[in-house]
Amino acid sequence: MKLLIGNRNYSTWSLRPWLVLRQFEIPFEDEVLQLAGDGWREKIAARSPTGKVPVLIDGDLVVPETLAIIEYLADLYPDRDIWPRDRRDRALARAVASEMHAGFMALRNAAPMNLRASHPGRVDLDGVRKDLQRVETLWGDLLAKSGGPYLFGAFSAADAMFAPLATRLRTYELPISDVSQRYVEAIYALPAFQEWLGMALQEPWIVDDDEIDVIQGRVAPGTLA
Ligand SMILES: N[C@@H](CCC(=O)N[C@@H](CS)C(=O)NCC(=O)O)C(=O)O
């Protein structure tokens, strides 16, 4: 089984199924397809039916779309509890995963994932306040019910879905409660996340579209080293 992914420093959607694969000890290999550079869109389009990453390849089966990949893995490995074992928890885990997939647009646009960076104070808080409040409520309610350290107690696909958002909170030092802070720390403490982060920090590539200095017009595209 192979997962095609984007640059580890920036690719939020790639991180999610990769974390599931690694944290649940499913054998796989990965291959990075660049999200910038000459012909990058064409190179991805040649391998991905949607022109986007991640893509899971299992024999002659090619599965795009993060949630579909995670569901396929959960089907393949029903004993690994990729989703919580309890049916009601499973329903809620899928609900919050879907909410993450379809929502939090303000936060996603204003604070792109950039694992190597530290940009405190650079996000306009008024623009992301509603998303921050929702994430506080969502995480706070689930963590209070489960007792943590992850949303449903043990790590599940729901946590993988929120991992990139956790990194944004840290990179831009967005104001969050102690409960959310502990959850962010729990994401960073995952061995699979640490492995991804270590590789992301080794990457030399810059993707201007995900760099806040370029997005906010402080530096010209192509000038970041
Ligand atoms: N709905 C897709 C979104 C995937 C996505 O947007 N991936 C980004 C990288 S993180 C991408 O491939 N962008 C290339 C493009 O939009 O052309 C999923 O859930 O996997």
pLDDT digits (tens, 9 = 90+) for 87-144: 999 999 999 999 999 999 999 999 999 999 999 999 999 999 999 999 999 999 999 9
pLDDT at 44: 98
Q: Whose CA is nearest to atom 6 of ligand 1?
A: 52
- Supply the mean pLDDT for the chain: 97
pLDDT of the residue at 64: 98
Q: Binning pLDDT at 50, 70 and 90, where does residue 225 land?
A: confident
For residue 11, which atom of ligand 1 is closest to its CA? Answer: 10
Which of 53, 100, 113, 207 has most ligand 1 atoms within 8 Å of its beta carbon, as the pocket-test mutant?
53
Helices (H), 125-174: 125-146, 157-171
CA of 46 relative to ligand 1 center, distance in Å: 15
Q: What is the number of other CB atoms lying within 10 angstroms of the CB of residue 22?
A: 19
Q: Does residue 120 have a cis bond before it (omega within 30 degrees)?
A: no
Separation of CA 66 and ligand 1 centre (Å): 9
pTM for this entry: 0.97
User: What percent of the chain has a predicted confidence (pLDDT) above 70?
Assistant: 100
Distance between first and last Cα of the chain: 35
How many angstroms does the Cα of residue 30 sit away from the middle of ligand 1?
16
Percentage of residues of the chain with pLDDT beyond 90: 100
Q: What pLDDT score was predicted for residue 59?
A: 98
Query: Which pLDDT score is estimated for 70?
Result: 98
| Residue at token pair 């499913």 | 26
Same fold, 2-80 and 87-195: no
Residue 64 to residue 62: CA distance in whole angstroms: 7
Per-residue pLDDT tens over the stretch 130-154: 999 999 999 999 999 999 999 999 9
Measured CA to CA, the distance from residue 86 to residue 131 in angstroms comes to 28
Residue nearest to atom 15 of ligand 1 (CA): 52
In the structure encoding, which two tokens stand for residue 100, read together? 């993450």
3-state secondary structure (DSSP) of residue 40: helix
pLDDT score recorded for residue 19: 98
* C-alpha 144 – ligand 1 centre gap (Å): 32
Q: Hey, how many other C-beta atoms are within 10 angstroms of the C-beta on 59?
A: 6
Rg value, the chain, Cα? 17
13 pLDDT band, cuts 50/70/90, is very high
The stretch 158-185 carries a mean pLDDT of 98
Burial of 77 (0-12, 13-18, 19+ CB in 10 A): middle
Q: Is 225 helix (H, G, I), strand (E, B) or coil?
A: coil
Domain range list for the chain: 2-80, 87-195
Q: Is the pLDDT of residue 63 over 90?
A: yes
Ligand 1 site: residues with CB under 6 angstroms? 6, 11-14, 35, 41, 51-54, 65-66
Q: Which CATH number fits the domain 87-195, given the four candidates 1.10.357.10, 1.20.1050.10, 2.60.120.460, 2.40.10.10? A: 1.20.1050.10
Q: Under a CB-based contact definition with an 8 Å cutoff, are residues 3 and 28 in contact?
A: yes
The answer to whether residues 64 and 55 touch, using CB atoms and an 8 Å cutoff, is yes
CB atoms within 10 A of CB 209: 12
Residue 134 is predicted with a pLDDT of 98
CATH number of 2-80: 3.40.30.10
